[in-house]
């Protein structure tokens, strides 16, 4: 005890200075919205750096599996490209039109933080407004499966709402085999299952049907894979509530693509005029 008193007595000036400085900072932040905003922005920046360093260490130990996955993806893409090149049905005029005015493009990003154990799950990506990322851009996994949407950006980072989010904006999904479409949501029960709603009971639905995005989403290109029909429930005596098993394991996300629909704002303006 005597040692503690001697320590406090010896460094009393420094200790008093630290206490007064802390009190001053608290008073400034509590009474100045500008300072509070600046401090919050600085904290977000520091958190982003910490999350990125942690994600980098985690990714280092999984490089072998990630490289194998990338090789397999490149092989699949080359095979698909050869199929398109060798198809007689492709006309050069159509291809040139598509190349001259692409409907959408992709930006690469890496997830540095991802939650799956909450009712409102989010992801932090290491790409932000400086790289052209904007809110309402879709996020898909490295092998082409829907996982979420950008909701907020900073210069170098962005936040995306996960498909595992009970507040997730409902997107249009469809049964690929029949074309029947409804809305995708999550009931908060299983991290492996989402729900496809608003499908009429007269629709032809079977267990194992593939569920994808469709052209009405406005955020994703058509036919981005979501999952497969796992269970068919009757809701309100009119519609089905279909449990869809996700094709993507949401706990294993690292590298992702951000989708930029080029004509989205123009289309949205037309819809607002209806």
Q: Note whether 40 and 88 are same-domain residues.
A: no
Question: Could you tell me which residues come within 8 angstroms of residue 117 by beta carbon, excluding any fewer than 6 positions away?
Answer: 191
What's the pLDDT tens digit per position in 49-100?
Answer: 777 776 766 666 666 566 656 645 654 564 454 444 344 433 333 333 344 5
* Distance in angstroms (rounded) separating the CA atoms of residues 263 and 274: 17
Higher per-residue pLDDT: 137 or 264 = 137
270 domain-assigned = no
- Could you tell me if 145 and 79 lie in one domain? yes
End residue of a domain, out of 43, 59, 75: 59
**pTM assigned to the model:** 0.66
Residue finishing a domain among 28, 44, 59: 59
Same domain, 102 and 90: yes
| Residue 55 lies in domain | 2-59
How many domains does the chain divide into?
Answer: 2
Domain for residue 196, yes or no? no
Answer yes or no: is 142 within a domain: yes
Contacts of 54 (CB under 8 A, 6+ apart): 112
Q: What are phi and psi of 32, to 5 degrees?
A: -135, 110
Cα 17 to Cα 24, 25, 29, 140, distances in angstroms: 10, 12, 18, 51
Within a domain: 24: yes
Angle, in degrees to the nearest 10, between helices 33-60 and 63-86 = 90
pLDDT tens readout for residues 149-187: 999 999 999 999 999 999 766 788 999 999 999 999 999
CATH of the domain at 103: 2.40.10.340
Average pLDDT, the chain: 77
Query: Is there a single domain that holds both residue 78 and residue 36?
Result: no
Q: Phi, psi at residue 263, to the nearest 5°? A: -100, 20
Measured CA to CA, the distance from residue 126 to residue 157 in angstroms comes to: 5
Backbone phi and psi for residue 161, each to the nearest 5 degrees, phi listed first = -80, 135
Residues 67, 158 within the same domain = yes
Whether 125 is covered by a domain: the verdict is yes
**Statement to judge: residues 78 and 42 lie in one domain:** no
> Is residue 91, in this structure, part of any structural domain at all?
yes
In a domain, 128, yes or no: yes
70 in a structural domain: yes
């Amino acid at each position: 005890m005597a040692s503690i008193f001697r320590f406090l007595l010896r460094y009393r000036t420094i200790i008093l200075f630290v206490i007064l400085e802390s009190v001053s900072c608290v008073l400034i932040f509590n009474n100045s919205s500008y300072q509070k905003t600046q401090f919050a922005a600085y904290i977000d920046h520091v958190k982003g750096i910490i999350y990125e360093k942690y994600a980098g260490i985690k990714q280092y130990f999984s490089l072998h599996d990630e490289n194998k996955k990338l090789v397999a993806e490149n092989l699949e893409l080359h095979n698909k490209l050869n199929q398109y090149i060798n198809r007689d049905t492709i006309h050069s005029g159509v291809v040139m039109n598509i190349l001259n005015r692409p409907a959408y493009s992709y930006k690469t990003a890496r997830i540095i933080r991802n939650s799956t154990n909450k009712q409102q799950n989010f992801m932090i990506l290491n790409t932000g407004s400086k790289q052209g990322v904007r809110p309402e851009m879709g996020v898909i996994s490295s092998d082409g499966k829907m996982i979420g949407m950008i909701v907020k950006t900073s210069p170098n980072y962005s936040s995306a709402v996960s498909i595992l989010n009970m507040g997730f904006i409902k997107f249009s999904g469809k049964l690929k085999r029949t074309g029947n479409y409804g809305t995708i949501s999550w009931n908060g029960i299983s991290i492996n299952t989402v729900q496809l709603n608003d499908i009429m009971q007269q629709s032809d639905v079977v267990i194992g049907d593939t569920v994808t995005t469709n052209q009405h989403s406005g955020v994703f290109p058509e036919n981005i894979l979501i999952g497969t029909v796992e269970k068919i429930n009757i809701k309100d005596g009119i519609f089905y509530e279909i449990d869809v098993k996700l094709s993507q394991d949401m706990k294993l996300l690292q590298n992702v693509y951000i989708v930029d629909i080029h004509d989205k704002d123009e289309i949205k303006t037309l819809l607002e005029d209806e």
